[in-house]
Amino acid sequence: MSQRIRVQPDQLRQSAQQLRQASSKIHDSGSRVSNAYNQMDAESRSAAGVGGRVRQAQSRAAALAEEAMRLATYLETKANAFEQADRAGFEGLRGIASSIEALQVSIKELPQTIPNQVGDLMFLGMLASSGVSTHLPITTVAVVSQQSASQVSNPTTTEEWKAFYRKQPWSKKFEELKQLDQEIARLQSQINRGITADHLKNSIKFYDKLIDETEQEIKRLEKEKDNWFGNILRTHDSYDRALETTKRNLETLKSDREKAVRMLSDIERLPNLLIQKQGLENDIKQGITPDGPTPNDLLRGTAGCTNYVAEKRDIRYWPNNKDEPGHPGNAYEWKNQAIRAGYEVGSVPVKGSILVYQPGVGGVDSKNGHVSYVENVAQNADGTYSVTISQANPNYEKDVNGIPIRDEKGQKIAILGQHTAESKQTIQVTSDGLLIDPKKGKIPGIDFIYDKKPSTSDSSGVPQQV
């Protein structure tokens, strides 16, 4: 004789109503988490760094709420059928009862776990409002370029960095100093806001825990999706949505963890960056080693300012229009001659460089221009430069009465191989190479000749730091 059971339809409907109420509670709990998180400003949410955990709680709550609602609907529509349930039906009812019990356990846990998560959010929010930020930029140190270890060793001391930069083009030195300043300022700002290596290490551990929990959640959802109860209630769609959401959360957590790892690497490199910057600044401050004088046969062919500077620097390679070396021209021509001779020319003053004035700029000769030698450079607080230069003027041919002799064009005739006594003055130059004239303001028309550009093998990129 088959065993039969009696189930009152009203009791089933009462259970269904309880499930609907439970679904509503679960939904409300998820909403409280969402509202608490959304009420935080963007900076606080960034500081909290628990967006993935919030989304995981929301997706879990949504899945539980939907599952409870579907079960309530199932009980209501099948109430009459259970009055005549057979053994198979009885086993099915037992399975449903087990599911109801599991739901009840989950519902009991929600009021405990969700408020804890809200509390965590509020605590992290208070940290953010007090100045602690966990902004994790992707930017890495821009000044570090890739290079094979076989090409250059990794400098570790100030002197090693200085020696390394001796072989780099001046334009690259100035650009890397700018980037180093920006990167060091960014990292120091983060440390000043409370982002330390220890903070980031703890954050990485926290992400590891969340990633592990999320991966376990994915396994649980995949397992429950395939059980017989899920097939009966046809809840595959809800599980698919929960899986999709949870997997997206996992990718977000992994991405956030990677950002934290990169920032930790940056902050741990800060001491090395300070050493690198000091080495670069020492190299720039040392400037260009004087390579003069120019050989006498060429020196005797110059006069005045060009003769004076040619005693300081070797200009034997200045070419003529046919690119034949050994033909230094008038002062204003030196810029282009230096470039054609393979020398680097720029707008930033450097100790030991040659300052070239175009004709008439800063009150110099309106026909031939002027050159002077840079003795020292000091950067001012506003970014401009105080540049100390030394220079000389021509000695002119004179008649017996001491009156200068002029040529057919009325120009005074300079004596070749001579110059007046050295004089010094300090001029002001902007960061982009403009002469600051006390009367006319900022005016263009000056350039600085550095030294010969290093060969490709000597000017390889900054070694990769690890």
The whole-angstrom separation of Cα 241 and Cα 219 is: 14
The domain tally of the chain equals 2
User: Strands across the sheet with 343-346, in order?
Assistant: 343-346, 446-452, 354-357, 370-379, 385-391, 423-429, 435-437, 441-443
pLDDT at position 122, please?
Answer: 36
Report which of residues 59 and 261 the model is more confident about.
261
Report which of residues 193 and 44 the model is more confident about.
193
* Contact (CB, 8 A) for 304 and 394: yes
Give the lowest-confidence range in 11-25, 62-76, 211-225: 62-76
Say if 192 falls within a structural domain: no
**Residue 39's beta-bridge partner residues?**
none
At 180-195, the pLDDT tens digits run: 999 999 888 878 877 8
* Contact (CB, 8 A) for 395 and 418: yes
Model confidence at 379: pLDDT above 90: yes
The CA-CA-CA angle for residues 110, 113, 116, to 5°, reads 135
CATH number at 312 reads: 3.90.1720.10
Of the chain, the percentage scoring pLDDT greater than 70 comes to 72
pLDDT at position 380, please?
Answer: 95
Say if 211 falls within a structural domain: no
Say if 465 falls within a structural domain: no
Q: Number of helices (H) and strands (E) in the chain: give both, helices first.
A: 14, 8
pLDDT at position 120, please?
Answer: 39
pLDDT at position 17, please?
Answer: 81
The set of residues, in sequence order, having a beta carbon less than 8 Å from that of 318 and lying 6+ positions away, is 325, 326, 327, 328, 329, 334, 337, 338, 341
Q: How far is CA 155 from its chain centroid?
A: 22
Report which of residues 267 and 233 the model is more confident about.
267
Say if 390 falls within a structural domain: yes
The whole-angstrom separation of Cα 340 and Cα 199 is: 54
The CA R_g of the chain, rounded to the nearest whole Å, is 39
Say if 202 falls within a structural domain: no
Both tokens of residue 143? 């000044």
At 93-117, the pLDDT tens digits run: 454 455 445 444 444 444 343 334 4
Model confidence at 398: pLDDT above 60: yes
Say if 187 falls within a structural domain: no
* Contact (CB, 8 A) for 43 and 134: no
The set of residues, in sequence order, having a beta carbon less than 8 Å from that of 53 and lying 6+ positions away, is 117, 210
User: Which residue among 130, 165, 198 closes a domain?
Assistant: 130
Mean model confidence pLDDT for the chain = 78
Give 318's pLDDT tier (boundaries 50, 70, 90). Answer: very high
Report which of residues 335 and 129 the model is more confident about.
335
Q: Mean pLDDT across the stretch 394-406? A: 91
Model confidence at 354: pLDDT above 50: yes
Both tokens of residue 397? 């041919």
pLDDT at position 44, please?
Answer: 62
The set of residues, in sequence order, having a beta carbon less than 8 Å from that of 278 and lying 6+ positions away, is 158, 161
The whole-angstrom separation of Cα 260 and Cα 202 is: 10
User: Which residue among 101, 130, 159 closes a domain?
Assistant: 130
Neighbours of 86 (CB within 10 A): 12
User: Which residue among 108, 130, 152 closes a domain?
Assistant: 130
* Contact (CB, 8 A) for 371 and 350: no
Say if 446 falls within a structural domain: yes
pLDDT at position 45, please?
Answer: 59
Model confidence at 49: pLDDT above 50: yes
pLDDT at position 227, please?
Answer: 67
**What sign does the CA torsion over 112, 113, 116, 117 have?**
negative
Which of 257, 249, 254, 256 minimizes the C-alpha distance to 218? Answer: 249
Which of 143, 137, 139 minimizes the C-alpha distance to 464? Answer: 143
Model confidence at 275: pLDDT above 50: yes
Say if 205 falls within a structural domain: no
* Contact (CB, 8 A) for 364 and 330: no
pLDDT at position 360, please?
Answer: 94
Tell me the residue range of the domain where 374 lies.
287-452
